[in-house]
Amino acid sequence: MDLFKMFSKSDNSKDIAKERLKLVLIHDRANVSPQFLEMIKSEIIGVISDYMEIDEAGLEIKLTRTKRDVDDTSVPALVANIPIKKMKDNGKF
Amino acid sequence: MGEVIVITSGKGGVGKTTTTANIGTGFSLEGKSTVLVDADIGLRNLDVVMGLENRIVYDLVDVVDGVCRLRQALIKDKRYSNLYLLPAAQTKDKNAVTPQQMQELTSELAKEFDYVIVDCPAGIEQGFKNAIAGANKAIVVTTPEVSAVRDADRIIGLLEANGLRNPQLVINRLRVDMVKRGDMMNIDDMIDILAIELLGVVPDDEHIIVSTNRGEPAVTNNDSIAGQAYRNIVKRILGEDVPFMNLESDQGFMSKLAKMFGFGKKK
């Protein structure tokens, strides 16, 4: 059984359920709406665009969970993935 | 002074009323004086699950409105010792009672009974607020489905915000065959997500339907695996250290053989 599992990635429906639940609960618990995330996203774009050219379409921002280094408890984290096209000169001194 | 326990879930249809009936009857079997309070005003059902629907004269709203005394509204279940039901009103709505009134009512009952078990309605509105108002302990019922677990998580947050710390979890209608094929979240998955203490796991069991048909809680049936699960839950609430049931009993011949020789999966 485990041999089979090694070759195929898990497609058990319960794993899908668990993953979906974890994500939806992060939003439920933090009381964060998608609109709220959009607001953060556009402000981040605004700030970073002063210093570098970024791929706005490829920008991804989400709430997830991460383990705290100090005691391994799970805490919510805001993760942003911002692809940079190129640096702007006016950001340099 | 007795303990007031609210049975809640957020989502409807996960087995709050069945759990209330079984835990309450289980307390009575353990010799504890117990009163079941149906807080689902307008949609009462604890009376039919308990098989006491024909004996209702007064209800909870009558007591609160002063139409009758508390004693008069309590229905004694003659099959068991020291088990009573305070039925909900069927024709009123949730706003017929306030949290303040519920608090007074349950504390009055707690003076006379070892356990006051409150069956909470589904939802998070007035009925929920009423049901939890007088409770000093909460049990959250869920099933291994995304919608039920999500609602349970919300309820846990609301309970804690209302001062009911450390609610305990009952996982209802677990299907061992589906868990084994990876098509149902297992106990660890749900504890991992909800991060609360597990009180018990009730396997999916046809006896529950049959016993509800008859109006006799499954906890009294020694052949029912769900009944056994409820008996264990009652013992755990009473402070006994009861191990969780081995739900692998329907396993195949080979794994049984393996277990006999000590090669069994650890769990």
What is the ipTM score, two decimals?
A: 0.80
In a domain, B267, yes or no: no
In a domain, B75, yes or no: yes
In a domain, A82, yes or no: yes
What does the pLDDT look like over B181-216, one tens digit per residue? 999 999 999 999 999 999 999 999 999 999 999 999
Q: Does A5 touch chain B (CB under 8 A)?
A: no
In a domain, B92, yes or no: yes
Q: Which of B225, B223, B157, B235 is nearest to B194 (CA)?
A: B157
Task: Out of B150, B157, B182, name the one closest to residue A14 (CB).
Answer: B182
Tell me which residue range forms the domain holding A62.
33-88
Residues of A in contact with B157 (CB under 8 A): 29
In a domain, A49, yes or no: yes
Per-residue confidence in pLDDT tens, chain B, 267 aa = 999 999 999 999 999 999 999 999 999 999 999 999 999 999 999 999 999 999 999 999 999 999 999 999 999 999 999 999 999 999 988 889 999 999 999 999 999 999 999 999 999 999 999 999 999 999 999 999 999 999 999 999 999 999 998 999 999 999 999 999 999 999 999 999 999 999 999 999 999 999 999 999 999 999 999 999 999 999 999 999 999 988 765 545 555 555 555 554 443
Q: Is there a contact between A13 and B150 if contact means CB atoms under 8 Å apart?
A: no
Which residue in chain A has the smallest CA separation from B182?
A12
Q: Is there a contact between A28 and B186 if contact means CB atoms under 8 Å apart?
A: no
Distance CA B53, CA B70 (A): 18
Helix (H, G, I), strand (E, B) or coil at B88: coil
In a domain, B95, yes or no: yes
In a domain, A40, yes or no: yes
In a domain, A71, yes or no: yes
Residues of A in contact with B150 (CB under 8 A): 21, 24-25, 28
- What pLDDT score was predicted for residue B254? 54
In a domain, A59, yes or no: yes
Q: What's the sign of the alpha-carbon dihedral B175, B176, B182, B186?
A: positive
Residues of B in contact with A72 (CB under 8 A): none
In a domain, B266, yes or no: no
In a domain, A80, yes or no: yes
Helix (H, G, I), strand (E, B) or coil at A10: coil
Q: Which two tokens stand for residue B167?
A: 């609610």
Distance CA B211, CA A57 (A): 58
Q: Does B146 touch chain A (CB under 8 A)?
A: yes
Q: Is there a contact between B146 and A10 if contact means CB atoms under 8 Å apart?
A: no
Output Rg (C-alpha) for chain A, integer angstroms: 18
Q: What are phi and psi of B86, to 5 degrees?
A: -105, 105
Distance CA B205, CA B50 (A): 18
What does the pLDDT look like over B25-66, one tens digit per residue? 999 999 999 999 999 999 999 999 999 999 999 999 999 999
Q: Does A22 touch chain B (CB under 8 A)?
A: yes
Nearest CA to CA, how far is A36 from chain B (Å)? Answer: 20
Distance CA B19, CA B49 (A): 10
The domain tally of chain B equals 1
In a domain, A11, yes or no: no
In a domain, A67, yes or no: yes
**CATH number of domain containing B147:** 3.40.50.300
Tell me which residue range forms the domain holding B49.
3-260
Q: B12 Cβ partners below 8 Å, 6+ apart?
A: B122, B123
In a domain, B164, yes or no: yes
The domain tally of chain A equals 1
Distance CA B258, CA A66 (A): 39
Residues of B in contact with A25 (CB under 8 A): 150, 153, 193
Q: What's the sign of the alpha-carbon dihedral B224, B115, B42, B142?
A: negative
In a domain, B265, yes or no: no
Q: Does B185 touch chain A (CB under 8 A)?
A: yes
In a domain, B151, yes or no: yes
